[in-house]
Amino acid sequence: MPDEPPCVGDTLLAMRQAQGLTLDNLARKAGVSKSMLSQIERNQANPTVALVWRLANALGVSVGELLGYGPPEPPPIVMVQAHATPSLGSSDGKCELRILGPIDLAGQFEWYELTMQPGGALDSEPHEPGSREHLSVLSGALEVTAGAHNSRIKSGETARYAVDQRHSIRNLGRTTATALLVVLHG
């Protein structure tokens, strides 16, 4: 444990300048006087916890980063509870897509668990050029149409197809089908 409190002056100055903020700009954003900010940056004063919090928020960084500890390390395993997994439903109520992929990768990589009742269908407009879907049927059977081509996929099979054209997934069977759907955007 260090004997001295952390000096945030150098870090504060570097962060303020990196964001192109003047002392005046940051003082207004953080709700603190310009002279106090100047004293902190010159290491002539150490701010209170409340002031560090306000400065960190004004700069859009964590308190730890402002204190010179760097960004927090992500946990080695991130758990998402079943009740916290968002889902999308079709307007007819026959299809559910549970969003399994991380939301920050949406538009690049999307991963879903698809549950489709008999007669259910997902009709989609073209995605970006070069985009592809990978549909792995876990139970039941589904039919995929991509452009003018269609194919039936049975349990245990995977279909990979271009989706930079109109495409659809349908359950023409008599039982509920489940699948994993991965979308790779071009």
In this structure, is residue 75 part of a structural domain?
A: no
Domain that holds residue 153: 82-184
Quick: pLDDT tens for 40-58: 999 888 888 889 999 999 9
In CATH, what number is assigned to the domain containing residue 133?
A: 2.60.120.10
CA–CA separation, 137 and 155 (whole Å): 5
How high is the pLDDT of residue 91? 85
The pTM assigned to this predicted structure is 0.62
Average confidence (pLDDT) over 80-85: 86
In this structure, is residue 4 part of a structural domain?
A: no
Location of structure tokens 């992929």: 101
Give yes or no for residue 77 having a pLDDT over 90.
no
89 and 60 in a common domain: no
130 and 180 in a common domain: yes
AA identity, residue 153: I
CA–CA separation, 158 and 168 (whole Å): 15
Confidence of residue 71 (pLDDT cuts 50, 70, 90): low
Task: Single out the residue of 140, 95, 125 nearest to residue 113, CA to CA.
Answer: 95
Confidence of residue 81 (pLDDT cuts 50, 70, 90): confident
106 and 26 in a common domain: no
Q: How many domains does the chain have?
A: 2
**Contacts (Cβ under 8 Å, ≥6 apart) of 71:** 62, 64, 65
In CATH, what number is assigned to the domain containing residue 55?
A: 1.10.260.40
How high is the pLDDT of residue 46? 82
Torsion sign over Cα 168, 82, 87, 164: negative
Quick: pLDDT tens for 1-32: 456 667 788 889 888 888 888 889 999 999 99
174 and 88 in a common domain: yes
Give yes or no for residue 164 having a pLDDT over 90.
yes
Average confidence (pLDDT) over 166-170: 97
94 and 53 in a common domain: no
Task: Single out the residue of 39, 42, 65, 43 nearest to residue 52, CA to CA.
Answer: 65
